[in-house]
Amino acid sequence: MDITKYEHACLVIDIDGDKLVIDPGAYTTDLDASKHIVAIVITHEHHDHIDTDLLKALIAQSPDAVVYADKTVLENISAPHKKPVAAGESFEVGPFSLRFTGGAHAVIHPSFPPMANIGVVVNDNLYYPGDSFASPDGPVKNLALPVAAPWLKLSESIDFLRSIQPSMVFPTHDAILSDTGKKLVDTMIGNIAKDLQLQYERIDGKTITLKS
């Protein structure tokens, strides 16, 4: 299972040429439309996780792709194949097993209305929580760890990493950080990972093979 981390919080997972795209949002400017996409997962409705123009371009190249998202997200997008999902549900699509978790976006401020958010566990291997620190409800070997957002502070990212204890962790959700900010995160999270005997790696713009 190969994974490519694109700008901000977009992931593309590839198994023998079949692709799963997660959160193609407006802050992701380096993702090209691609063929052979079998599924697209959108964790929630914020524009940094779903860009409608980018989504249309992806579907134009892969018209059979199934879009998985909360029903409120699907109401506002146009796609030929849409599947509403909720936390606790699991689906099989192509070579991918998708198990959804969470259900609620992390609180930004009490004055903001609550919003749905689903995390996804892919093939019982990779966990991407979207905008939350919801438990994956089981062990995972690889973790996409949010490290910068209006809804989090880094101590929460550290506590989440400690609770999950994956074999490998990489940072995500960090387009709002400067290069200096990313280096600071890498140092702090990297030191915690070292103490926990975990592998920490920044994989921005890279394709790596995840260990199963």
The residues with which 204 forms a beta bridge, in sequence order, are 5
User: Once rounded to an integer, what is the mean pLDDT over residues 152-164?
Assistant: 97
Domains and CATH numbers, the chain: 2-209 (3.60.15.10)
81 membership: H or E segment, kind and range: none
Instruction: Read off the pLDDT of residues 16-74 as tens digits, 9 standing for 90 and up.
Output: 999 999 999 999 999 987 889 999 999 999 999 999 999 999 999 999 999 999 999 99
Q: What are the φ and ψ backbone dihedral angles of 50, each rounded to 5 degrees?
A: -145, 120
What is the pLDDT, as a whole number, of residue 6? 95
pTM beyond 0.75: yes
Residues with Cβ within 8 Å of residue 70, at least 6 apart in sequence: 44, 45, 84, 85, 86, 116, 117, 118
